[in-house]
Chain A
Amino acid sequence: MGIFEKFKIGLNKSSKNLSEGFKNLVINKKIDSKTLDNLEDFLIESDVGVVSAKELKQIFTDTKIDPKKDSLNQVNLIVENYIKKSMKPLEKNIVIEEGIKPKVILIAGVNGVGKTTTIGKLGKIFSKDNKQVVFAAADTFRAAAIEQLEIWSEKIGAKIIKSETGSDPASVAFKAIEFSKKNNIDCLLIDTAGRLQNKKNLMDEFKKISKVLKKIDPNSPHETILILDATTGQSALNQVEEFQKITPISGLIMTKLDGTAKGGILLAIARKYNLPIIAIGLGEKEDDLELFRAEDYAKALMSSN
């Protein structure tokens, strides 16, 4: 199954919603200001945010959609192009270069977005690529977070560096990078506790983890990835903003796009913050993490079957 098909299946519910929604709004309707308002409303309902919705409405207005020709197709095309244009420059692959050992990837996010699961899935992708992977269980707060990551490490044959629940997460991270360096490991994935971006002490703790890694490798973490949940509303924008303040975010992964959430917030974030998007999570299974491709994302979201 190609990535595009998989995208489509995962995003099926969402794509249905978007194209169906447009269909109801524009087919056999006069494209007047009321229709344009309805289009804007519908886009807001997809969480794309008020800004993107307004911009798209403006484009609809400027292009003067011709109701005599296929109006749905025109609307779809506009949105598709808008998404592509906004998101194409943000595609990003994570490459495990030969020169850097270990490539240190730090994972951040609020509680319950799917950090541990995403690490497991990422680990699987890298080890399939014959890279040696180490997990650092630096979520020392949530009960059984360490056990959860441990089960993943067994599944994919990665080593795990851990400590007691309640211990200092920075020290776990330090131990892990030390170990990885010594053992010539290709990739170190660091799981951290969920933290709400408005909790100062927790955000400081995160900063400390990032800082302590530099003692072993001043260029690390090479990637700091923020995980976002597709069901989150406008708070996702704040999450990006606040985590950015603490430490530079090098990429985003959006999880849970297999539900009904349209993940439109990803567009809102792309418009506002210009952050690279690495992958999207399309399900609970081990392989349900896909590299982000703007065309596929836009097409799968828009195509009407």
Chain B
Amino acid sequence: MFENLTNKFEEIFSSLKKAPSLNEKQVEEGLRSIRQALLEADVALPVAKTLIENIKPKAIGQEIIRSTTPGQMIVKIVYDELVQLLGDKKSEINLNAVPPVSIMLVGLQGSGKTTTAAKLAQYLEKNNKKKPLLVSLDVYRPAAQEQLKILGEQNSIQTLPIVKEQLPNDIARRALGAASLSGSDIIIFDTAGRTQIDLSMMSEIKELKSTLKPAEIMLVADSLTGQVAVNIATEFKKAVDLTGIILTRADGDGRGGAAVSMKFTTGVPIKFLGVGEKIENFEVFHPDRIANRILGMGDIVSLVEKASQNLDQENIKVTEENLKKGQFSMQDYLSQLRQMKKMGGMEGVLSMLPGVSKIKKQMDNANIDENIIKINEAVILSMTKEERLNPKIINASRKKRISSGSGTDSATVNKLLKQFKMMTNMMKKMSKGDPKDGIPPEIFNQLK
């Protein structure tokens, strides 16, 4: 699914013309396929729509960083937006209350509340040096209380002794007393699973909330949840005013769009992720990882990031201006080679581009010697300033000097000069628009 999307995306954008900045048509085309990606990742439709409406004005007119395509720029803009949306400011668990501090976990059946309760307890014990008490208020699911008790025993975390037939609110009161006696400073309450439209069950958690006055009420939600995520989060927030979300099963193959849906509609921060079946498989939420997964285009994002970091913007401007004037000099070629080197050579640049299979194949067939970049750099460095600006003056004796200065031979110098000539021609063509048939094969022959 992931690769299909990326390929489709590349297909759409290979037809878009290069331009200094994104125009409206490019943005619209790009966002249409982004929308598809978001939906396939289970981002709820109204959320995907609003998100895209918000992004549109930001993207139009955005400068396209050289060596990236309009499509790649749009992916990066969407990615940044997603990261910001998912948690621009870090939200840590709030334990600021008079101990024992109550934390309540709520959610649908089977979302992973009981396992999460134990994980959270162990996390707070290790990272916050707390002494937690685990309490199950699930009197409905058979053996739910036993499950939490066993998890406590397995991990040496205290649990409240089970008293049969006691009602949730009474268990809650008993827990508050017990924690004070045993010196526990945190109580984690696991509640029964409930659907958000079950009115009597929803009023139960309201009642529990008023008994416990918890510092945190966290919704435990399955990251595989589909379109219904919006409704779940909204209703639980309405009922008990959630303070955080814990996403479970983030180690599954779900793309995690539910995270975006829930955060977007409720504003409730996502605080933790469950990432496995073991008790220690629990971590603080990282927005960038989920954003990557939702778009499924992490490689494009890192390419754009690298390009914007590494490229010497001024050099590019000079090169661009020279190109426009039809004066592509050896100096420009040198700075291009250096940029390429920074990005991990030809292979490095290409391996980051998904979907450019045509060029990649050409590359493989061409058998490019990565050393060529280094050698060419050395040859150009052995030229005088005059020679670099006007390579035409390089005659036989100059060639001899250059080759001995760079530790190469005159054949290599010749090759570079020929390559440069072709490069100049291609640059001229490219400045008028994208080459339709990929890179001319002669260029690759030259790089061998």
Contact = CB atoms under 8 A, between A and B. Distances in A.
Interface of A: 13, 41, 44-47, 50, 110-114, 117, 141-145, 147-148, 150-152, 165, 196-199, 229, 231-236, 238, 256, 258-262, 265, 284
B253 A13 contact: no
A231 B222 contact: yes
Given A142-B147, A231-B232, A233-B225, 12 more contacts: A50-B39, A111-B112, A112-B112, A112-B222, A112-B249, A143-B146, A147-B143, A229-B110, A233-B227, A233-B254, A235-B42, A265-B226
5 contacts: A47-B227, A148-B141, A152-B142, A165-B150, A256-B110
- Range for the number of chain B residues in contact with chain A: 35 or more
Interface in B11-46: 36, 39-42, 44-46
Contact of B227 (A45, A113, A144, A145): A45
Given A259-B195, A259-B196, A144 B252 contact: no
Contacts of A235: 42, 224, 252-255
Contact of A143 (B44, B111, B150): B150
Interface of B: 1, 36, 39-42, 44-46, 108-112, 114, 140-144, 146-151, 154, 195-197, 222, 224-229, 231-232, 249, 251-255, 257-258, 277
Given A232-B225, A233-B225, A110 B252 contact: yes
A110 B110 CA distance: 10
Given A235-B252, A256-B195, A284-B109, A144 B258 contact: no
Between B41, B144, B195, the greatest number of chain A beta carbons within 10 A of the residue's beta carbon is seen for B195
A197 B253 contact: yes
Interface of A is mostly: loop
B217 to A, nearest CB: 20
Contact of A234 (B40, B111, B222): B40
A35 to B, nearest CB: 16
A144 B147 contact: yes
A5 to B, nearest CB: 19
Given A196-B252, A231-B228, A114 B196 contact: no
Between B42, B146, B147, B227, the greatest number of chain A beta carbons within 10 A of the residue's beta carbon is seen for B227
B110 A111 contact: yes
B141 A196 contact: no
Contacts of A144: 143-144, 146-150
A280 B222 CA distance: 20
B159 to A, nearest CB: 11
Contacts of A236: 224, 226
A110 B111 CA distance: 11
Nearest to B46: A45
A44 B45 contact: yes
A156 B150 CA distance: 25
Contacts of A198: 251-253
A50 B36 contact: yes
Contacts of B109: 112, 114, 256, 284
Between A142, A144, A197, A256, the greatest number of chain B beta carbons within 10 A of the residue's beta carbon is seen for A144
Contacts of B196: 259-260
Contacts of A233: 42, 224-227, 229, 254, 257-258
A260 B197 contact: yes
Contact of A45 (B44, B144, B147): B44
A241 to B, nearest CB: 10
A114 B110 contact: yes
A83 B121 CA distance: 46
Nearest to A109: B110
A260 B45 CA distance: 16
B143 A150 contact: yes
Nearest to A260: B231
Given A196-B251, A234-B255, A50 B228 contact: no
Contacts of A113: 110
A44 B39 contact: yes
A147 B140 contact: no
Nearest to A120: B142
Nearest to A238: B253
Nearest to A258: B195
A111 B224 CA distance: 11
B264 to A, nearest CB: 15
Contacts of A238: 253
Contacts of A150: 143
Contacts of B111: 112
